[in-house]
Amino acid sequence: MEGYSKGFNTALRFLSRRLKTEAEVRDKLRSSCSEELTERILEKLKELGYIDDDYFVSCYIRDRMKFNPMGRYRIKKELYQKGVNKDLVDNNTEFVNIDEVSVITGLLNRKFKKPDPMDESDLRKIEGYLKRRGFELESINKVLKRLT
């Protein structure tokens, strides 16, 4: 039982800093606990509401769009790297409701305050910037068409 308490306390300390996915907590516990003990601790944490990947995905997307907006592709990639299940991401209402065109417009208004008409080189730079941020090409083209 001592191993359980130690592992549980380790998990609680790990979770106290910020929301974590089940996979992140599992990876943390694997270094100090057996597989069976890790699973018992994870079940208890889920039961107590300390781990909820669906809630994590919603909060992550909301925060990402508010503080450092990215496109769907980039958000998906980041969540997969954190060990979130593909179905949780694809079916999440926050993810489905992302309006990339308005996000791109807002980003460009903040980043590029250039009143002059944009030339071809400026448009290529903007397109590359938006692609690196994970926006869909269709959304990028809609916004760029408005700029020309």
> Could you tell me the residue ranges of all domains in the chain?
2-51, 54-96, 100-147
pTM of the model: 0.85
Instruction: Give dist(CA 43, CA 37) in Å, integer.
Output: 10
Q: What is the pLDDT of residues 98-140, one digit of tens each?
A: 899 999 999 988 887 765 667 888 889 889 999 999 999 999 9
Residue 78 burial (CB count, 10 A): 16
Sign of the four-CA dihedral 28, 77, 131, 103: negative
Q: What separation in angstroms does the CA of 121 have from each of 3, 62, 68, 118? A: 61, 33, 25, 8
Residue 55 burial (CB count, 10 A): 12
**Domain 100-147, CATH:** 1.10.10.10
- pLDDT of residue 40 exceeding 70: yes
Of how many residues is the chain composed?
Answer: 148
Instruction: Give dist(CA 39, CA 74) in Å, integer.
Output: 30
**Domain 2-51, CATH:** 1.10.10.10
Same fold, 2-51 and 100-147: yes
